[in-house]
Structure 1
Amino acid sequence: MESTKDTLAEDADIDAPAVSLRGWSLSGKQGDVFTDVDLEVPTGAVAVVRGPAGSGKTSFLLSLAGRMKVSAGEGRLGDLDIRKQTRKVRGQVAVGHIGGLTDLEDDFTVAQHVAERQIMLQPWYKPWASKSTLREVIGLFRDAFTTATELIDDLPPGTFSKQDAQRADFLIDDNGEVFVSELSELQKFFLEFGLASLSRPPVVVIDNIDYLRESADRARAWAGILIYQQMRRSRDPEDPLTVIVSCEDSSELDIATSSLGSRAEPSVLELELPPHLPAQRGSKH
């Protein structure tokens, strides 16, 4: 396969890379999955990994998250060697959505999912989550949506509206008693993203945002990512969030950025993965 190429917006304001790859490659029994990827993602940026189905996007994100071993190359997550320090990398890269890995339980409530994630983040000797802790965490989620709504209210007419934010507000009640089965796909997306963000990780990876079928929902999802990223940067400039998202088409990101304007202006980097060509029988690799 050919090497990938990337372009970086000139407005990146943090020079230190969150992720740095050189010759990053993965091969399997069926041939190359991705090969010879050179990439630097600045801290606090949005990296868009584009490619058709079967181009290795999911495997690429899993390799960045320390959940899949590559065949060759050098990779660093900040000061960590991705290949040699996978356990620490998994603690620094949260997974916002990967089908089959982050699937929510339809029979669980929002509060139960929050409690489960909270317990995972606590010391082993505290295998429970108090009601007060759950209310506090759910309150943080609600505050995020309130802030997003306020931001959207200040936008010029004809862009995102308050109804756009309300459509994405999955927290129907203060106690999070709504069941996952009652949520829309967009609401599930934001629940997964919210759960991934609970530990305040430096990096969140999100796979296949195209699974949201409606273009408007994909635009809302991109807007939500950008708004949360900007909120975190504003509250703690020393701890920005880097987001890496895979998709086949990123046109809805353009809609979100043009609608939000300077209120949520990201540094955007785009990486194109070429189509994956299966190995022919009898060929050598």
Structure 2
Amino acid sequence: MDGTPHGAAITAESLAVKGPRGWAFRDVDICAPPGSLVALEGPSGSGRTCLLLTLTGRMRPTSGRAEVAGLPLPGKMAAVRRVSALAHVPGVAELDAALTIAEHLRERGLLERRFAGPPLTLLRPRAGREAARARTDAALAAAGLDVDALPKGATTAVRELERLDALRLSLALALIGRPRLIAVDDTDLKLLDAEREQAWALLRSLAEAGTSVLAVCSQAPPGALVVPTAPDTQRPASRTTSAHARTGHGRKGATGALTETGRA
């Protein structure tokens, strides 16, 4: 071990994406150390998902600059994709409702051995299967998904899962590849208050274990580094600002500060 944190540091300066209908987001500044829980906070349509995809190397920025794990964007988008993983992004990375948990895990394991594992595992399939099983077990534990506790166990179809368990499965699948950055869209969508607290506690535990987390939400939890994507007029007034970042959206001069909630 060289002491280098596993998580990816995230920095951005005047980052922006413009599409056919105008700015998705603009003037985003971020400085998040490895192992941070970063909440991309704003209402639907405020550019949250575009920002998440840009910071994970899936969308090319129009202007500005950013670095993820020391890799510059947009110059090293492919490399950023290799160190990051999407847990749940509708239309981009989603669970198949017709597949079971076991089928999802088997498919992800095969992809990891084929494209991400050491070449020797292809020549030693038994060793490769054992290593994949260990990674899968570790990912399920980190995501807090107890498959055996479900009524149908691993044969439970995704359509039968509660929203929180589906989120746990999405996270587990992403964690199998041991990414340095994991991204989640619509984190607090359709969750009851107690479930929302559990979801944020889970993401916080992943960050504390060293994996950087980007999470899109309508309301950030205490302790997260907040990147607001809505204009100033649409943001909650009870935010404590810091000099880590600012974002603007939709009009010139609509800027705000990245904040850390729950701190005076």
TM-score (norm 2): 0.74
Question: In structure 2, what is the equivalent of residue 180 of structure 1?
Answer: 158
User: Which of 230, 233, 239 is 1:274 aligned to?
Assistant: 230
Determine whether 1:52 maps to 2:50: no
| Equivalent residue letter for 1:184 | E
Preserved contact between residue 34 and residue 55 of structure 1 (Cα < 8 Å) = yes
| Equivalent residue letter for 1:191 | L
| Equivalent residue letter for 2:230 | P
Structure 1 position 25, deviation (Å)? 0.6
Preserved contact between residue 186 and residue 212 of structure 1 (Cα < 8 Å) = no
1:211-252 deviations in Å (ceiling 9; x for gaps):
23312111111111223333xx3xxxxxx21111111112xx
Question: In structure 2, what is the equivalent of residue 258 of structure 1?
Answer: none
% identity of equivalent residues: 26
Q: Which runs of 5+ in 1 are unaligned?
A: 1-13, 149-167, 234-239, 255-265, 279-285
Q: Which runs of 5+ in 2 are unaligned?
A: 232-248, 252-264
SS of the aligned residue for 1:176 comes to helix
CA 1:143–1:60: 2 relative to 1, 3 Å = closer
CA 1:188–1:46: 2 relative to 1, 3 Å = same
Determine whether 1:39 maps to 2:39: no
Q: Which has the higher strand share?
A: 2
Structure 1 position 142, deviation (Å)? 5.3
Question: In structure 1, what is the equivalent of residue 68 of structure 2?
Answer: 77
SS of the aligned residue for 1:210 comes to coil
Greater relative contact order (CA < 8 Å, ≥ 6 in sequence):
1
Distance in 2 between residues matched to 1:123 and 1:19, nearest whole Å: 29
Structure 1 position 30, deviation (Å)? 1.2
Determine whether 1:247 maps to 2:217: yes
Question: In structure 2, what is the equivalent of residue 203 of structure 1?
Answer: 181
Question: In structure 1, what is the equivalent of residue 79 of structure 2?
Answer: 88
User: Which of 96, 108, 119 is 1:105 aligned to?
Assistant: 96
Structure 1 position 138, deviation (Å)? 4.7
| Equivalent residue letter for 2:10 | V
- Worse-superposed segment, 170-179 or 90-99: 170-179
Preserved contact between residue 136 and residue 172 of structure 2 (Cα < 8 Å) = no
Distance in 2 between residues matched to 1:84 and 1:144, nearest whole Å: 32
| Equivalent residue letter for 1:272 | P
Determine whether 1:118 maps to 2:109: yes
